[in-house]
Amino acid sequence: MLLHPQRCIGSPCYQTLPCPKLYKIFYSLDAQIAKRTIKDCEAPNIRGENRYCATSLESLVDFVITKFGKKVQALANEAEKENKEQECTILKGIKMIGDNQMVCHKMRYAYAVFYCHTINATAYTIPLEGVDGSKAKAVAVCHADTSAWNPKHLAFQILKVKPGGPPICHFLDSDTIVWVPN
């Protein structure tokens, strides 16, 4: 992952980035992915959400500090060893992290971009054991209020539910960071 100092990026506003120049660097698929990242970052907040796309390590930390102060904890998925995808068993010891967190997702782009947002959800750490005996700790979130979500969201299609229905819970990707106040 390539993180640029903020002074190299300039303004975190994507409208000021030289996007057409970046698109020429990418192949067509990469250009479409980069355009999607920009679209996601420039989209308006949904109700109950506060979002920001961090384009440098400094801007990521600054955003977290403005929301929670300097006493924060960063959580992410942990594994004893990197291994292949496999079936896992949930072990005893699920811990609620809390319902006041910020989630930062690594986006696909020419350099590191994190899509950070505060959400109305409860976060958990969940101990897992793979069929090969390896242990991991995964972070999951449960969204209690999905009434403001896009009805075409993939979660609704997979679970065959509608916005405002039952809570939607999911594990977070390995390149996602969850920030919580201490």
Q: So what's the pLDDT on residue 73?
A: 92
In a domain, 3, yes or no: no
33 exposed, middle or buried (CB, 10 Å; 0-12, 13-18, 19+)?
A: middle
In a domain, 128, yes or no: yes
- Locate all alpha helices (DSSP H) within the chain, ordered by sequence: 6-9, 19-25, 28-42, 57-68, 154-159
pLDDT at position 2, please?
43
DSSP count for the chain of H helices, then E strands: 5, 11
pTM of this structure: 0.75
Establish if 7 belongs to a structural domain: no
Is 12 within a domain? no
- Each residue's pLDDT, cut to its tens digit, for the chain (182 residues) gives 444 444 444 444 344 444 555 555 555 667 778 888 888 888 888 777 788 999 888 899 999 999 999 999 999 999 887 767 788 899 999 999 988 899 999 998 877 899 998 877 899 999 999 998 999 999 999 988 889 888 998 999 999 999 999 999 999 998 899 999 98
8 within domain boundaries: no
pLDDT at 48: 74
Q: Is residue 5 part of a domain?
A: no
Is 130 a member of any domain?
yes
Is 31 inside a domain boundary? yes
- Interval 117-161: pLDDT, tens: 887 789 999 999 999 899 999 999 998 888 988 899 899 999 999
Task: Name every residue whose Cβ is closer than 8 Å to that of residue 2 and which is 6 or more positions away in sequence.
Answer: 111, 112
Containing structural domain, residue 54 = 19-181
Q: How many domains does the structure of the chain reveal? A: 1
